[in-house]
Amino acid sequence: MTAGSFRASVERMFNRAAALVDLPPGLEEKIRVCNSTYTVRFGVRLRGAIHTFVGYRSVHSEHMEPVKGGIRYALSVNQDEVEALAALMTYKCALVEVPFGGSKGGLCIDPREWDVDELERITRRFTYELSRRSLISPSQNVPAPDMGTGEREMAWMADAYKRLHPEDINAKACVTGKPRAGGGIAGRVEATGRGLQYALREFFRHPEALKRAGLSGDLSGKRIVVQGLGNVGFHVAHFLQTEDDCEIVTVIERDGAVSAKGGLDIAALREHIRETGGVRGFPGAEFRENGLEALEDECDVLIPAAIESVIHADNAGRIRAKLILEAANGPITAEANALLRDRGTVVIPDLYANAGGVTVSYFEWVKNLSQIRMGRLEKRHEEARNHLLVKELQRLSADAGFEWTLSDNFKSAYLRGADEIELVRSGLDDTMREAYTQMQTVWFEDDRVDDLRTAAYVVAVRRIAKVYESLGL
């Protein structure tokens, strides 16, 4: 591990918090270390030649099983990165009370270089290699999508696993983030972006926290800069624009940044990226070739949603956002984190902010194990009880001599039983609110804790320590 690497950064952040928690001798080291990392090199015959691919699956902590974490497809994937991301998963799951240990995987590949059939063959072969070592399994290790992967890859992995384990009735639960038709859950694709929206909404419910960030009021009209308009960046930007009246003033992508006073139309911009491959040329917007410069734009909230370490010691001093919502994993290095803290910039940390994905993955895993859609048993029963209540109230009011009618809006909102998507969003909202409260309590009440990230780690480390203690370690 090199000083200044992503993993070193995560460890520094962990060490800072662990020093504030009273742990039995040796437990800090046990929690910090990555238990194992498997490296695999496998060949696939494509385009008339055998191509060798390098993949990783790292297991950071098995204090709870299965372990959980995404699979990333990118040329930049390496052992250090996978181990850092696996460690983050351990702390993230503990913080949001998802009963999993931490894991992460990756394949060194640029998915844009291969066509769909080729990607499918590569993914199925990678799944076979993982399965041989129980690194994909409903009870031991459950991958999910990450950068460069999505529903399609998860469906291939689930199918490949099922073929290898036809007797396993829980086979579908071997990965999450699957399409609905393949055993997925409503709201998984949007989950990380949705969780980020709920996290920001929760932050804005606390005037003292807002004051610390130099912000006030509600989300309406807040100017937001987003880096990376992929799955996570698109959903959070789209929800904040369409449901909270925020202005997404700048979007930074690989080819540069586009800005517009009053905000960019995020749905249209995503379509433009799909058609042209980048943000350049988006109608009505100003384009800058050096996208990274836009991270330094004056705004209320900066949302890095692309890759790690984009805010580092060299540019941290020039960041003018009041609040940074970490959508990507590890977008701020440990050095930059300290500089930002000293300048009073508030950071809502990755292990909390982007936990929506793993939270809804947990719901999907539970759904797969229970073999039933969420709400299927209760929905009509709930509706019937609501109708009964309203009928009785109407009868009582008629008996008392006054006419009482319900508006159509109320009826459609109240009388209807909840669908799976509503239950998922409700569970996610609750998770984000609860975890924020835990974090903020530590942030406000412990004088030694000077930022939300340290508070998040303190909550997570305390919880993990309790599990280890209960195991007798």
Question: Which residues belong to the active site?
Answer: 104
Residues 332, 343: contact at Cβ < 8 Å?
no
Any idea which residue has 């639960």 for tokens?
Answer: 173
**Binding string, 306-325, against ligand NAD, x = CB under 6 A?**
xx------------------
Burial class (CB in 10 A: 0-12, 13-18, 19+), 333: buried
| Contact region with ligand NAD (CB under 6 A), list: 42-50, 301-309, 341-349, 461-469 | 301-309
Distance CA 160, CA 172 (A): 10
Q: If residue 422 lies in a helix (H) or strand (E), which one and from where to where?
A: helix 420-445
Distance CA 460, CA 455 (A): 9
Q: If residue 394 lies in a helix (H) or strand (E), which one and from where to where?
A: helix 379-399
The first and second tokens of residue 156, run together, are 């291939």
| Contact region with ligand NAD (CB under 6 A), list: 121-129, 225-233, 373-381, 431-439 | 225-233
Among 55, 69, 105, 145, binds ligand NAD (CB under 6 A): 145
186 interacts with ligand NAD by CB under 6 A: no
105 interacts with ligand NAD by CB under 6 A: no
Distance CA 214, CA 237 (A): 22
Among 66, 69, 184, 228, binds ligand NAD (CB under 6 A): 228
The number of beta carbons lying within 10 Å of the beta carbon of residue 204 is 21
431 interacts with ligand NAD by CB under 6 A: no
The number of beta carbons lying within 10 Å of the beta carbon of residue 127 is 25
157 interacts with ligand NAD by CB under 6 A: no
Closer to ligand NAD by CB, 132 or 254: give it. Answer: 254
Residues 295, 305: contact at Cβ < 8 Å?
no
332 interacts with ligand NAD by CB under 6 A: no
| Contact region with ligand NAD (CB under 6 A), list: 212-220, 249-257, 367-375, 410-418 | 249-257
- Minimum Å distance from CB 455 to ligand NAD? 20
Scan residues 348-387 and list those touching ligand NAD (CB under 6 A). 354, 357
- Minimum Å distance from CB 88 to ligand NAD? 9
254 interacts with ligand NAD by CB under 6 A: yes
Phi-psi region of 346 (alpha: psi -120 to 50; beta: other; left: phi over 0): beta
- Minimum Å distance from CB 117 to ligand NAD? 20
The number of beta carbons lying within 10 Å of the beta carbon of residue 232 is 27
192 interacts with ligand NAD by CB under 6 A: yes
Question: How many chain residues bind ligand NAD (CB under 6 A)?
Answer: 24
Closer to ligand NAD by CB, 254 or 395: give it. Answer: 254
187 interacts with ligand NAD by CB under 6 A: no
Distance CA 64, CA 240 (A): 34
147 interacts with ligand NAD by CB under 6 A: yes
237 interacts with ligand NAD by CB under 6 A: no
103 interacts with ligand NAD by CB under 6 A: no
Distance CA 104, CA 83 (A): 7
Which residue pairs from 39-42 have beta carbons closer than 8 angstroms and sit at least 24 positions apart in sequence?
Answer: 39/79, 40/126, 40/129, 40/130, 42/125, 42/126, 42/129
230 interacts with ligand NAD by CB under 6 A: yes
- Minimum Å distance from CB 357 to ligand NAD? 3
111 interacts with ligand NAD by CB under 6 A: no
Among 123, 127, 197, 227, binds ligand NAD (CB under 6 A): 227
- Minimum Å distance from CB 144 to ligand NAD? 7
Among 5, 241, 329, 333, binds ligand NAD (CB under 6 A): 329
The first and second tokens of residue 294, run together, are 């836009």
- Minimum Å distance from CB 232 to ligand NAD? 4
Any idea which residue has 């270089």 for tokens?
Answer: 113
The number of beta carbons lying within 10 Å of the beta carbon of residue 393 is 12
- Minimum Å distance from CB 300 to ligand NAD? 20
Among 123, 131, 231, 241, binds ligand NAD (CB under 6 A): 231
- Minimum Å distance from CB 189 to ligand NAD? 8
- Alpha carbon 141 to chain centroid, angstroms: 18
Task: List alpha helices for 285-378, DSSP H.
Answer: 334-343, 350-353, 356-370
252 interacts with ligand NAD by CB under 6 A: yes
184 interacts with ligand NAD by CB under 6 A: no
The type of residue at 286 is E
- Minimum Å distance from CB 360 to ligand NAD? 9
Distance CA 241, CA 263 (A): 9
Q: Report how far apart, in Å, the C-alpha atoms of 239 and of each of 154, 290, 428 are.
A: 25, 27, 15
Among 253, 297, 326, 451, binds ligand NAD (CB under 6 A): 253
Closer to ligand NAD by CB, 187 or 228: give it. Answer: 228
Any idea which residue has 């949603």 for tokens?
Answer: 305
Any idea which residue has 């036809």 for tokens?
Answer: 166
Chain residues that interact with ligand NAD, rule: CB under 6 A:
145-148, 192, 227-233, 252-254, 291, 305-307, 327-329, 354, 357
